[in-house]
Amino acid sequence: MNYTKIISLLLLAILIVSCSEEVERENPLDAQNKRTGGALPGLIARAGDGQVTLSWLNLGLNGIKEYKIYRSYLSNDKFELVASIPADSADKKFSYTDKGSQNEGLQNDGENVYFYRLSYIDRDGTETPSPDSPANLPADWYLISIIPSLAPPVPNVQVMEDSDLKVRLIWEGYSLSAPSDLAGFRVYSALKTENEQDQKPLILVAQIDDPKTEFYIDGNDYPSNIVNFTKDGITKLYKVVAVDKVGVESDSPILEGTSPNLPPSPPAQVKGIFSLGINTYDVRIEWRRNLEPDLLGYKVYALLPDGSREFKEWKRDPNETVSIIQGERYVVREGELIPKQYYITAYDNTTKPDGINDESQPSEIISAY
């Protein structure tokens, strides 16, 4: 007996069986497909007010003519056909919104759970899986369940523009009358363009999971290297939606917010080093660099005893943090010679109607005593 030939035939048989099983398991809706587990790729359901939207990816199989959507109410064993969706092999994604029979809408909230299943029809008219043969359906024929929900009330959002390079959105008092299934809020935003045709869609910029939070600040977080506004006068579109526990959003309007025309913060951590002489003195002033991206520079002032100020020096580079003033003359006060006091201001690139750039409030005052 030729054992080598027998072994070869056995290996060939194993290979054929293995390959046939792999081909069989290419069906994504096959419950034993290890790659999909019988799940339709990308199938998701989004709850709405009296409706459910299903979306899924193209199966990637040749010859699919249409998809069928089945729905069952309260239990997962009484499915009925609710829609047939033509399949175009060029499409990457499909979507269908189920609004119930006769446009009455699906029932919201509570225990009103709906179950959905999908199948596909090939060019020969064969449906996979076939609901006409319940005995042949896999036990875990992929299904998805969801509860439609009444959308939360629209938050009354106030747009506050009272801080430099910052817009605040406030909906104070919303939590006092919020529905019991409120989960939080979502903030969407986009830079406003002059041409509406070029306007980009709003994108999610914040997910607020605390229902009691009633504000959102769109500004610059310098420690985290986040710069949302680079100058005054930038307008953004905003939408603040309340969202419930199943993800239904309020039908909120789109609002506008503009980074206000306000001066930068005064320089911080200011200190002075005085070198006192007989008739004159020198002073070295140091401060921490301002972080505003629209900053142009600093101005150095001397403060006189009568409350007036004396301009001393421009610093036209926002990275400069040192000013050295030499040969300063003392101020005579009650017969005594005393050094002047000093402070710093920052100014940005926004010009006011009088032609002067926005200037910050004075920094802390430094003196020799």
For residue 40, what pLDDT band results from cuts at 50, 70 and 90?
low
List of residues 6+ apart from 351 with CB closer than 8 A: 357, 358
Token look-up 């921490």 returns: 288
107: tokens are: 């029932």
> Mean pLDDT throughout 21-30?
49
Last residue of a domain, one of 107, 126, 146: 146
> Mean pLDDT throughout 25-53?
66
169: tokens are: 């959105």
- Contact present, 295 and 318 (Cβ < 8 Å): yes
Residue at 366 is within a domain: no
Query: So what's the pLDDT on residue 101?
Result: 77
| Residue 67 buriedness (CB in 10 A; 0-12 / 13-18 / 19+) | buried
354 and 281 part of one domain: yes
Residue at 263 is within a domain: no
Q: Give the global pTM.
A: 0.72
129 and 14 part of one domain: yes
pLDDT for residue 95 is more than 50: yes
Query: So what's the pLDDT on residue 139?
Result: 58
C-alpha to C-alpha distance for 262 and 96, rounded to whole angstroms: 48
Bigger pLDDT: 211 vs 61: 211
**Number of structural domains in the chain:** 3
142 and 8 part of one domain: yes
Largest Cα separation within the chain, whole Å, is 128
pLDDT for residue 270 is more than 90: yes
Token look-up 């596909």 returns: 120
pLDDT for residue 24 is more than 60: no
Structural domain boundaries, residue 18: 3-146
C-alpha to C-alpha distance for 210 and 327, rounded to whole angstroms: 60
63 and 193 part of one domain: no
Residue at 320 is within a domain: yes
Mean of pLDDT over the chain:
85
185 and 305 part of one domain: no
- Contact present, 321 and 289 (Cβ < 8 Å): yes
Query: So what's the pLDDT on residue 347?
Result: 96
18 and 140 part of one domain: yes
127 and 179 part of one domain: no
Residue at 336 is within a domain: yes
- CA-based R_g, the chain, Å: 35
313: tokens are: 């020096």
C-alpha to C-alpha distance for 53 and 149, rounded to whole angstroms: 12
115 and 22 part of one domain: yes
Map residue 180 onto helix, strand or coil.
Answer: coil
284 and 352 part of one domain: yes
Residue at 152 is within a domain: no
> Mean pLDDT throughout 180-209?
94
Query: So what's the pLDDT on residue 110?
Result: 87
153: tokens are: 């009330």
23 and 104 part of one domain: yes
pLDDT for residue 342 is more than 50: yes
Query: So what's the pLDDT on residue 22?
Result: 45
Tens of pLDDT, residues 120-174: 888 888 888 777 665 666 655 667 889 999 999 999 999 999 899 999 999 999 9
| CA distances from residue 51 to 133, 163, 209 in whole angstroms, order as listed | 29, 42, 24
| CA distances from residue 114 to 8, 148, 317 in whole angstroms, order as listed | 54, 8, 64
Question: 134 in the Ramachandran plot: left (φ > 0), alpha (ψ -120 to 50) or beta?
Answer: alpha
Map residue 82 onto helix, strand or coil.
Answer: strand
- Residues 327, 331, 333, CA angle at the centre, nearest 5°? 160
Last residue of a domain, one of 93, 113, 146: 146
Provide the sign of the torsion angle of the four alpha carbons 206, 209, 215, 221, taken in this order.
negative
Q: Which of 301, 294, 342 minimizes the C-alpha distance to 318?
A: 294
Residue at 307 is within a domain: yes
The percentage of the chain sitting over the pLDDT mark of 90, rounded to a whole number, equals 58
Last residue of a domain, one of 89, 119, 146: 146
Query: So what's the pLDDT on residue 136?
Result: 61
pLDDT for residue 13 is more than 50: no
166 and 88 part of one domain: no
C-alpha to C-alpha distance for 360 and 366, rounded to whole angstroms: 17
Q: C-alpha 227: how far from its chain's center?
A: 14
Residue at 124 is within a domain: yes
220 and 241 part of one domain: yes
Tens of pLDDT, residues 199-229: 999 999 999 999 999 999 999 999 899 999 9
pLDDT for residue 3 is more than 50: no
Q: State the CATH number of the domain containing residue 333.
A: 2.60.40.10
Residue at 369 is within a domain: no
Query: So what's the pLDDT on residue 25?
Result: 44
Helix (H) or strand (E) holding 53: strand 51-57
